[in-house]
Amino acid sequence: MKKIFISLCVCLLALMGHAQILLPNAPAPLRAVVNPEMLIQFNGQRMEVLATQRGIRNVAGTYTLITADATDGLSRDKLGVAYSYARRGPVFLTGEVSAKLRTGFQASALSGLGVDIRLLAPPDVYILTVSTPPAIVNLVKQLQLNPAVEWVEPFTVQGSIN
C-alpha cells in the first residue's frame, strides 16, 4: 500500500514539476570579414583589427568607439579596436604582443623587427610593443613566420561599448 501511495505521489509531483530551461540570449551573429589583410589568427582564434577605430574608456567603465587615422598611435587612453570572432564582439588592443621562443633560441632571434622588446617571464617569454594597429598585424604575422617563435598572442582588453 505504501509503495502504491508513494508512486502515485511521485507521479503527481512529476506532472506538476515541469522545468522550463531558459537559454541565454543568442550570441551576436558572426560578421563577414571586411579587410582580410587585417585578419590575424592565434591560438585557434581569429581577430580582425580595425585600423581606423579607437576605443576610449569612459568613467562608467565602458568604451566609446571613435574614428581615427590608421597611423594614429595607441596609448593607455586610446586603445586599438578589433573584432573577435570568438567573442563575436569588440576587443581592445594595447599595442603589446607576447611571444614565446622555442627551446634553444635566444632573444636575438627577435631582433631586427624594429620594435621594443622586454622579457616578461624568464627565460623565453617576451613582450614586443608597437604603436599602431597595422603594426600589430604585421608584427603578429612576422612572428608567426619566425621558426624561433613557439606562440604569439596580442594583449587584449575585454569590455563593452556604449
Q: pLDDT (tens digit, 9 = 90+) per residue, 102-139? A: 999 988 888 888 788 999 989 899 999 999 999 999 99
Predicted TM-score (pTM) of the model is: 0.78
Q: pLDDT (tens digit, 9 = 90+) per residue, 82-100? A: 999 988 889 999 999 999 9
User: What residue ranges in 43-140 does DSSP mark as E strands?
Assistant: 45-57, 63-67, 79-84, 89-101, 116-121, 125-129
Query: CB-based burial of residue 109 (10 Å sphere; 0-12 exposed, 13-18 middle, 19+ buried)?
Result: middle
pLDDT of residue 87: 87
Categorize the per-residue pLDDT at 26 as very low, low, confident or very high, splitting at 50, 70 and 90: low
